[in-house]
Amino acid sequence: MPVPNPWTRKLEQFDRLPEADRRLLDDLISASRRIGANQDLAAEGEVSHHVHVVLEGCACRYRILPDGRRQITAYLLPGDICDLHVLLLTRMDYSVGTLVPSMVASIPRTILLGITERHPKLTRALWWNTFRDEAIAREWIVMLGRRSAYERLAHLFCELLLRLRIIGAAGDESYVLPVTQAELADTLGLSLVHVNRSLQRLRHEGLIVLEGRSLTITDSERLMAVASFNPSYLHPRSETGRGPPPS
């Protein structure tokens, strides 16, 4: 059996899909394209007719305030859907852009919408995907509202470790950070300068090694404690066992 594409893998975290659904997913992303870093896939305010899926690289959701302040509201890793809500809400209330060179598939919303009428298992997996996105957004609210700069960095690094591990893009304790310090600042609601200093503190305290973009978590135990990181919001597979909760 061939290795499933990242999107299929992601959706099957919820429940095994019928063979027909898996083939369908393969088809939908067959026309993917390679895109450079810092390219917009969709822009705030426009009416969008395509749902985007990241297959390689990394993108983000972000908003820019009238005076130029920017806030990143989500990281989109391989297998993640950038803008699924376009299915039912076509007006974009944020922008989507790549953070590094990426491979992205673009699916007409009418096609996907039609599919949801004939593929209940797949539709349920997409709904699950929506719930998980929302759970991550909630956790970011907590991170921004009630954690210090130091803790926010620790928390974000823990989240990325787990999310990248699931898709096989991280080792036991190291991965390639897909963002610059300026982008970390826009993610964590901090200034660039303060991100830099907080990173140094994480290094000095022996929690991480960060050389260029390669991040190694040298003491994940303590890093998770600093972040008061509780992975349950990612709803890891192991917790519910195989398959979705019984109906």
Task: Please report, as ranges, the residues that interact with a second copy according to CB under 8 A.
Answer: 14, 45, 61, 63, 65-67, 69-71, 73-74, 84-85, 87-91, 93-94, 109-110, 113-114, 117, 120, 124, 127-128, 130-135, 137-142, 144-147, 186-189, 228, 230, 232-233, 235, 239-240, 244-245, 247
182 binds DNA (CB under 7 A): yes
Q: If contact means CB under 5 to 8 A according to the sort of partner, which of DNA, a second copy, none does residue 174 touch?
A: none
Beta carbon of residue 156, minimum distance to DNA (angstroms, whole number): 14
Residue 235 zone, left/alpha/beta (φ > 0; ψ -120 to 50; rest): left
Tell me: does residue 212 bind DNA (CB under 7 A).
yes
19 binds, among a second copy, DNA, none (CB under 5 to 8 A by kind): none
Chain-centroid distance of CA 190 in Å reads 20
Decide: is 181 part of the binding site for DNA (CB under 7 A).
yes
CA 179 to chain centre: 13
Q: Per-residue x/- marks for DNA, 102-141, CB under 7 A? A: ----------------------------------------
Q: Which is nearer to a second copy, 14 or 175 (CB)?
A: 14
Name the token pair of 2. 């061939």
Minimum distance, C-beta of residue 191 to DNA, in the bound complex (Å): 3
CB of 93 to DNA, least distance (A): 24
Backbone angles phi, psi at 168, to 5 degrees: 70, 25
What minimum distance in Å lies between the beta carbon of 94 and a second copy? 6
Sign of the dihedral through C-alpha 120, 75, 165, 37: positive
Asked if 232 and 239 touch (Cβ cutoff 8 Å), the reply is yes
Is-contact 74 96, C-beta < 8 A?
no
CA 57 to chain centre: 11
List 63's β-bridge partners, or say none.
71
Q: Does 228 bind DNA (CB under 7 A)?
A: no
Q: Is 38 exposed, middle or buried (0-12, 13-18, 19+ CB in 10 A)?
A: exposed
Tokens coding 197: 């200093």
- Using the rule CB under 7 A, which residue among 90, 110, 191, 228 binds DNA? 191
- CA pair distance 61, 59, nearest whole angstrom: 7
Name the residues that contact DNA, by CB under 7 A. 148-150, 180-182, 189-194, 196-200, 212-213
